[in-house]
A and B are shown apart, each in its own frame.
Chain A
Amino acid sequence: MRTAISTLELIEPRSLKHALEVLRDSRPVVPLAGCTDVYVLLNAGTPPAGRYLNLWGLDVLRGITERSGTVSIGALTTFSEILRSPVVRRRVPILAAAAREIGAVQIQNRGTLGGNVANGSPAGDSLPVLAAVDAVVVLRSADGVRRVPFNGFYTGYRKTVMRPDELVAAIEIPPVPGRQWFRKVGTRAAQAISKVVIAAVRAPRPRIAFGSVGPTVMRAPRTEAVLAGGGSIDEAVATLGAEITPIDDIRSTAEYRRRVACNLLRQFWTETA
Chain B
Amino acid sequence: MPTIGRNVPRCDGMEKATGAARYVDDLAFPGMLHGRTVRSTIACGRIRRVNLLFDPAGFTVVDHRDIPGRNVVALIVDDQPCLAERVVRHIAEPVLLLAHADRERLIAADVDIEYEPSEPVFDPLHSPKVFKSVAIDKGDVEAGFRVADEIVEGEYRVGHQEHVYIETNGVVAVPENGGITVHGSLQCPYYVQKALCVVLGLPPEKVRVVQAETGGGFGGKEEYPSILAAHASLLALKSGRPVKMIYDRAEDMEATTKRHPAVVRTRTGVTRAGRLTAIDVDVLLDGGAYTTLSPVVLSRGVIHATGPYRCDNVRVRGRVVMTNTPPNGAFRGFGAPQTQFAAEVHMERMAERLGMDPVKLREVNAFRAGDTTATGQALGRDTSALKVLREAVKRTDFRRRRRSLRGTNRGLGLALFFHGAGFTGSGEVRLASKASLELTERGARILVSSTDIGQGARTVLAQIVADTLGLPLDAIEVARADTGRVPDSGPTVASRTTMVVGGLLQRCAVEMKRTIGRLTPRQYLRRHRALVVTRQYEAPTAATFDETTYRGDAYGTYAWGCDVAEVEFDPVTYEIRPVRVTAVQDIGKALNPRMAVGQIEGGTLQGIGYALLEEVVVRDGRMANAQLTNYIVPTTMDTPRIDVVIVENGYRHGPFGAKGVGELPFDGAPPAVANAVRHLGLDVRSLPMTPERIMMLSGQQSAGSR
Asked if A and B touch directly (CB within 8 angstroms), the answer is: yes
Cβ contact within 8 Å between B638 and A189: yes
> Are A260 and B104 within 8 A (Cβ)?
no
Q: Is the CB of B104 within 8 A of A4?
A: yes
| Shortest distance from the beta carbon of A115 to any chain B beta carbon, whole Å | 17
Selected from B627, B637, B638, B695, the residue in CB contact (under 8 A) with A259 is B695
Question: Which listed residue, A7, A188, A260, A266, touches B632 by the CB 8 Å rule?
Answer: A188
A106-133, CB < 8 A from B = none
Chain A positions within 8 Å of B107 at CB level: 2-4, 45
Contact call B691/A256, Cβ cutoff below 8 A: yes
Which residues of B sit under 8 angstroms from A267, Cβ to Cβ? 572
Chain B contributes a number of interface residues (CB within 8 A of A) equal to: 27
Complex CA gap A255/B108 in Å reads 41
B contact residues around A251 at 8 Å (CB): 630
CB distance from A236 to the nearest CB of B (A): 16
User: A188-B632, A188-B635, A250-B624 are known contacts. Are A7 and B695 too (CB-CB below 8 A)?
Assistant: no
Shortest distance in angstroms between B453's beta carbon and chain A's nearest beta carbon? 25
Q: How far is the CB of A11 from chain B (nearest CB, A)?
A: 21
Residue A253 at the B interface, CB < 8 A? Answer: yes
Quick check: is A192 within 8 A (CB to CB) of the other chain?
yes
Within the assembled complex, what's the spacing in Å between the Cα atoms of A259 and B107? 44
A251 to B613, CA, bound (A): 11
Q: Flag if A263 contacts B630 (CB, 8 Å).
A: no
CB distance from A251 to the nearest CB of B (A): 6
Question: Known contacts being A1-B248, A5-B104, is A264 close to B632, with CB within 8 Å?
Answer: no
- Encode A171-201 as 1/0 by CB contact (under 8 A) with B: 0000000000000010111111100000000
B573, CB-defined interface residue at 8 Å: yes
On whether the beta carbons of B632 and A256 are closer than 8 Å, the reply is: no
Partner of A193 from the list B108, B613, B629, B692 (CB cut-off 8 Å) is: B629
Chain A minimum-CB-distance residue to B575 = A185
B250 adjacent to A188 (CB under 8 Å): no
Q: A44 and B635: CB pair below 8 A?
A: no
- Whether the Cβ atoms of B630 and A189 lie closer than 8 Å is no
Interface residues of A in 240-267 (CB under 8 A from B): 250-253, 255-256, 259-260, 263-264, 266-267
A185-B573 CB under 8 A given contacts A191-B635, A253-B692: yes
Q: Is B139 an interface residue, CB under 8 A from the partner?
A: no
A266 to chain B, nearest CB (A): 8
Interchain CB contact (< 8 A) of A260 among B108, B573, B577, B635: B573
The answer for the CA separation of A43 and B692 in the assembled complex, in Å, is 30
Residues 604 to 639 of chain B near chain A (Cβ within 8 Å): 613, 617, 624-625, 627, 629-630, 632, 634-638
Considering the chains assembled together, what is the distance between the CA atoms of A185 and B695 in angstroms? 14
Closest beta carbon of chain B to A133's beta carbon, Å = 23
Does the CB pair B635–A190 fall under 8 Å? yes
A6 beta carbon closer than 8 Å to chain B: yes
A140-165: contact bitstring with B at CB < 8 Å (1 yes, 0 no)?
A: 00000000000000000000000000
A259 to B577: give the CA distance in the assembly, Å: 19
| Closest chain B CB from A189 CB (angstroms) | 4
B413 to chain A, nearest CB (A): 21
Across the interface, name the chain B residue whose C-beta is closest to A43: B248
Complexed CA–CA distance, A53 and B617 (Å):
37
Whether B613 and A188, one on each chain, are in contact in the complex, defined by CB atoms closer than 8 angstroms, is: yes
Distance, CA A5 to CA B104, complexed state (A): 8
CB of A259, distance to nearest CB on chain B (Å): 6
- Are B691 and A188 in contact, CB atoms less than 8 angstroms apart? no
A104 within 8 Å of B (CB atoms): yes
Partner of B572, one of A43, A187, A260: A260
Give, as a whole number of angstroms, the nearest-CB distance from A135 to chain B: 26
Tell me whether B571 is interfacial, beta carbon within 8 Å: yes
Q: Which residues of A contact B398 (CB under 8 A)?
A: none
Cα distance, A259 to B624, chains bound together (Å) = 25
Known A-B contacts A4-B107, A45-B107, A256-B695; A263 and B571 likewise in contact (beta carbons under 8 Å): yes
A185-B573, A264-B572 known; A190 and B638 CB under 8 Å? Answer: yes
Residue of A nearest to B627 (CB): A44
Of B104, B574, B695, the contact of A6 (CB 8 Å cutoff): B104
Name the distance in Å between A119's Cβ and chain B's nearest Cβ: 15
Residues of B within 8 A of A2 (CB): 107, 248
A190–B572 CB distance below 8 A = no
CB of A250 within 8 A of CB of B617, answer: yes
A104 touches B635 (CB 8 A): yes
Give bound CA distance, A263 to B571, whole Å: 8
CA A252 – CA B577 in complex, angstroms? 18
**Set of chain A residues within 8 Å of B571, measured between Cβ atoms:** 263
Q: Is B638's CB under 8 angstroms from A188's CB?
A: yes
List the B side residues contacting A45 at CB < 8 Å.
Answer: 107
CB atoms of A260 and B630 under 8 A apart = no
- Give chain A residues whose Cβ lies under 8 Å from the Cβ of B572: 260, 263-264, 266-267
Complex interface residues of chain B between 338 and 387 (CB less than 8 A to chain A):
none
Query: Bound state CA distance, A190 and B634, in angstroms?
Result: 9
Closest A residue, CB atoms, query B630: A250
The smallest C-beta distance from B379 to any residue of chain A, in angstroms, reads 40
A188 touches B637 (CB 8 A): yes
- Given the complex, which residues of B lie within 8 Å of A193, measured CB to CB? 629-630
With a cutoff of 8 Å between Cβ atoms, the chain B residues found around residue A253 in the complex are 692
- In the assembled complex, the Cα of A266 lies from the Cα of B250 at a distance in Å of 39
Beta-carbon contact of B637 and A190 below 8 Å:
yes
**Which partner residue on chain A sits nearest B108 by CB separation?**
A4
Chain B residues, CB < 8 A from A104: 635
A192 touches B104 (CB 8 A): no
Cβ < 8 Å to A, chain B residues 683-706: 691-692, 695
- 1/0 per residue, CB under 8 A from B, across A10-21: the answer is 000000000000
Bound: A45/B575 CA distance, A: 34
Q: How far is the CA of A22 from the CA of B577 in the complex (A)?
A: 50
Q: Kindly identify, within residues 661 to 699 of chain B, every residue whose CB is under 8 Å from any CB belonging to chain A.
A: 691-692, 695
Chain A residue at minimum C-beta to C-beta distance from B691: A256
Q: Considering the chains assembled together, what is the distance between the CA atoms of A259 and B697 in angstroms?
A: 14
Q: Which residue of A lies closest to B694 (CB)?
A: A256
Contacts of B248 in A (CB 8 A): 1-2, 43
Kindly identify, within residues 528 to 587 of chain B, every residue whose CB is under 8 Å from any CB belonging to chain A: 571-575, 577
Interchain nearest-CB distance for A3 vs B (Å): 8
How many angstroms from the CA of A161 to the CA of B638 in the assembled complex?
39
Query: What residues of chain A have their CB less than 8 Å away from a CB belonging to chain B?
Result: 1-7, 40, 43-45, 104, 185, 187-193, 250-253, 255-256, 259-260, 263-264, 266-267
B residues bordering A, Cβ < 8 Å?
A: 104, 107-108, 248, 250, 571-575, 577, 613, 617, 624-625, 627, 629-630, 632, 634-638, 691-692, 695
CB-defined A-B contacts under 8 Å, sample of 28: A2-B248, A3-B107, A4-B107, A6-B104, A40-B629, A185-B573, A185-B575, A187-B632, A188-B632, A188-B634, A188-B637, A189-B577, A189-B637, A189-B638, A193-B630, A250-B624, A250-B630, A252-B692, A255-B692, A259-B695, A260-B572, A260-B573, A260-B574, A260-B691, A263-B571, A263-B573, A264-B572, A266-B572
Q: Given A44-B250, A190-B636, A252-B692, 15 more contacts at CB 8 Å?
A: A43-B248, A104-B635, A185-B575, A188-B632, A188-B635, A188-B638, A189-B635, A189-B638, A190-B637, A190-B638, A250-B617, A250-B624, A251-B630, A256-B691, A263-B573
